[in-house]
Amino acid sequence: DAKTTQPPSMDCAEGRAANLPCNHSTISGNEYVYWYRQIHSQGPQYIIHGLKNNETNEMASLIITEDRKSSTLILPHATLRDTAVYYCIVRTSGTYKYIFGTGTRLKVLA
Amino acid sequence: NAGVTQTPKFRVLKTGQSMTLLCAQDMNHEYMYWYRQDPGMGLRLIHYSVGEGTTAKGEVPDGYNVSRLKKQNFLLGLESAAPSQTSVYFCASSYRAPSGQPQHFGDGTRLSIL
């Protein structure tokens, strides 16, 4: 599985867009990118995933660069409840395992 | 929707005691996983199962055993608990991997070994 690199922490003003970057320069063609978040040591919450194309759902948007070596999770209008640790994970299609890094601690400021 | 349910939520054990953590999912998922999370770290995979009656080792399997007798349940056992096993344990489940289906997590079991 490809390794991912994320900044350890970020701040974002409430109501603004939060853009969380992730580098996965060794990603291969059949590896998906997943984003999860963890609030107050609760179970990780699935946000979004993608393979090649940009994706959007009710929670967030995922932008994957054309060379697939990096991606950005966008929370369009951050609220205080979005304060959490965000994990970017790359997993090979057909395998079973997530390799978690230490994630990005996002703090949304009032 | 229950999703993934873990019992118990909290437990304190003495060194050398044994216990079993239960994970149950109601989504008819084929795959199930057990992770542990230590302070300031991401989750690490202990064991996983790709179907009823099958189990496999993850990154940190030592000191743990698992069983998957029913599709909906995945049990994690500690035969002789050690202080190093103090952690938060998360269970997850998913559909078959090839379609990229995400894993869904329970709320965790907080285990302290004295």
CA-CA distance, B21 to B16, in Å (whole number)? 16
Report which residue type is found at A105: R
Cβ contact, residue pair A98, B103, below 8 Å: yes
The residue with tokens 């069983």 is B67
Those of residues 10-69 in B touching chain A at CB distance below 8 A are 31, 33, 35, 37, 40-45, 48, 50, 56, 58
Touching check for A56 and chain B: CB below 8 Å? no
Q: Say whether B30 sits in a helix, a strand or coil.
A: coil
The residue with tokens 């009823």 is B52
User: CA nearest A11: which of A77, A106, A84?
Assistant: A106
Nearest residue on chain A to B101, judged by CA atoms?
A49
- The vertex-A74 CA angle with B107 and B92, nearest 5°, equals 20
CA distance A101 to chain B (A): 5
Determine how β-strand A45-50 pairs with β-strand A61-64: unpaired
**Model confidence band, residue A40 (pLDDT cutoffs 50, 70, 90):** confident
Nearest residue on chain B to A35, judged by CA atoms?
B102
Touching check for A39 and chain B: CB below 8 Å? no
pLDDT of residue B10: 96
Write the residue in B33, B42, B98 that is nearest to A102 by C-beta: B42
CA-CA distance, A38 to A27, in Å (whole number)? 24
CA-CA distance, A20 to B76, in Å (whole number)? 34
Which of B84 and B99 is assigned the larger pLDDT? Answer: B84
pLDDT digits (tens, 9 = 90+) for B32-62: 999 999 988 889 999 999 999 999 999 899 9
Cβ contact, residue pair A42, B107, below 8 Å: yes
Residue A103 with chain B: CB contacts under 8 Å = 42
pLDDT of residue A29: 83
Touching check for A65 and chain B: CB below 8 Å? no
A7 preceded by cis ω (within 30°)? no
> What is the Cβ-side half-sphere exposure of residue B79, based on CA atoms within 13 angstroms?
6
pLDDT digits (tens, 9 = 90+) for A53-88: 899 999 999 999 999 999 999 999 999 999 999 999
Those of residues 90-109 in B touching chain A at CB distance below 8 A are 90, 92, 97-100, 102-108
pLDDT of residue B99: 63
